[in-house]
Amino acid sequence: MAPFFQGDALPLPPQQNAKWEHGDDALSQAAALLFEQGLANPAGLEYREIEIAVGNPWSGGGNAVKTHGWILPKEGKDGQFAVAWNGLVYPIVRVGGPADLKQDWAPDAKMLGGNSWHAGYDASEFSSISYATPTALKMVLLLRLGETETVARISKLDDTRITGDPYISLARDWTWYAFERAACAHERGDDRLALADAKFLTKVQPLIDAEANRRGIKLNDDYSSGIRGAKLPTCPF
């Protein structure tokens, strides 16, 4: 099992709040809003081989898994961190050599299927951080890196196709990954990581609910509350 997170908070990428001249299509506009709300921005960071701790709902997990991600500058005593392919910042267990983003998503690259676009309800944390499993949220990170041609090609796959409002679909995937990581971290006793994700979810949920309301998204009734007219949040998990 990988070492537990010992810090007080997960760091922000250096260009998290940098201005982005994006397209005016629905996916790009949704992506821009998600980055404003806290989806980790990989822009300007070195893309490397990494090992990070990944959970599972049966045991809590926590074993180090190899993947590729974007390395944040090392600051302070809390170790080093990376932006993973699910839009979350992770403590790094080990940093390897340089990785090739274009090769990972080249036309002849091996893509592992089996995920639907609403990966948050179906995919494991392992597949969410893998560069070999195409999902809609990964297309958002590629857009932020200027890989528009790659996004246009990969987005034809069923795994990345979004039906309905792209913002709501992507927000649910992103927050599900954070919720799943928090639950698994708590289960294995990695409580500082679980707390960091819980604080993040508490902060971002009202932002997503407010945006859903602005977009006219009708929320489902919350019959379990016992309160007449109560609604479930946009991300009901």
Dump pLDDT digits (tens) for 167-178.
998 999 999 999
Which helix (H) or strand (E) element contains residue 66? strand 63-71
The mean pLDDT value for 43-65 works out to 94
- The predicted pLDDT at position 230 comes to 65
Collect all residues with Cβ–Cβ distance below 8 Å to 195 and sequence separation of at least 6: none
**How confident is the model over 115-151, as pLDDT tens digits?**
433 334 445 898 999 999 888 999 999 999 999 999 9
Predicted confidence (pLDDT) at residue 181 exceeds the cutoff of 90:
yes
> How is residue 30 written in tokens?
């949704």
pTM listed for this prediction: 0.89
Residue 90, CA distances (Å) to 29, 66, 111 in order? 26, 13, 23
Q: If pLDDT is split at 50, 70 and 90, which confidence band does 112 have? A: low
pLDDT: which is higher, 164 or 28: 28
- The predicted pLDDT at position 158 comes to 59
Inter-axis angle of helices 26-37 and 191-214, nearest 10: 130
Backbone phi and psi for residue 135, each to the nearest 5 degrees, phi listed first: -140, 165
- The predicted pLDDT at position 161 comes to 66
